Amino acid sequence: MTVTLNSHQYSTLKPSWLPLHCLYSGDKAVIQQGLPHSQLSPAWQMLILGDGSPTRHLQLVTGEKIEVDVIDMSVVEIDLDDAPEKLETITKPRILRQVWLKTASGKRLAYAASWWAANQIDEYLQNRSLPIWDSLSRLHTELYRDIRGLYYGESSQLQEYFAQKGPFWGRHYLFWHNQQPLTLIYEVFSPTLEEYLGKMSLSSPC
């Protein structure tokens, strides 16, 4: 199938996303077992290591509607784009979508980058301003969230955008649909959430 990308819809500039400069990373074994509570509190582990919808969780803990601020939709011209492992499972050509998850009152709570097959994104993200989970739920899409990596690290850009000092916690995962990978997602959470979840940890994981 030949895919034609509409240049009016997507930027064709080299995309630049915001990965953490890792001080610590955890694999599937760590994700399944969890971390000592001294390194990552139970409430934070439920948010980051749980397989539920982060936008739903953020709405529940803040008591506010969670909005999506789409900051970039770009054609990915680099094969692996310095993305986490398993990007190769997403069919090329790919679209990179970057968003802030924020409260209705304007607090930025998370950053997310997601990679989509260009021939699928319009089908599954019919309303680009909705959180991914909301879009897929409206289509009654059955999904499995496969968390693949856990990260703790620094980012000067995220520190500026969150107006919070790092390090930050993040993760990446695959969404599976009909036994096929649908999108790869990388998320980083703001320490602002300590207002609702309490302290992230009592000691550094590093």
Residue 74 located in a structural domain: yes
- Residue listed under structure tokens 């309303």: 127
What's 176's domain CATH number? Answer: 3.40.1410.10
- What's phi and psi for 160, nearest 5 deg? -70, -45
The dihedral built from the CA positions of residue 26, 201, 163 and 114, taken in this order, carries a sign that is: positive
pTM: 0.86
Residue 76 located in a structural domain: yes
Residue 94 located in a structural domain: yes
Structure tokens at 51: 């397989």
Residue 108 located in a structural domain: yes
Residue 132 located in a structural domain: yes
- Asked if 108 and 100 touch (Cβ cutoff 8 Å), the reply is yes
**Whole-number Å distance between alpha carbons of 102 and 93:** 29
Q: Which helix H or strand E contains 109, and what residues bound it?
A: strand 108-117
Residue 11 located in a structural domain: no
**pLDDT one digit per residue (tens) for the chain, 206 residues:** 333 344 345 444 445 899 999 999 999 899 999 999 999 999 999 999 988 888 889 999 999 999 989 998 888 878 878 888 888 989 889 999 999 999 999 999 999 999 988 887 777 675 556 656 555 555 445 567 899 999 999 999 999 999 999 999 999 999 887 778 889 999 999 999 999 999 998 777 77
- Strands lying side by side in the sheet with 144-154: 21-26, 144-154, 168-177, 180-189, 108-117, 94-103, 66-76
Number of domains in the chain: 1
- Residue listed under structure tokens 């989509």: 116
Domain with 152, as residue range(s), is 40-197
**Whole-number Å distance between alpha carbons of 58 and 65:** 9
- What's phi and psi for 191, nearest 5 deg? -60, -10
Encode pLDDT of 125-140 as tens digits: 755 566 565 555 554 4
Q: What is the DSSP letter of 125?
A: -
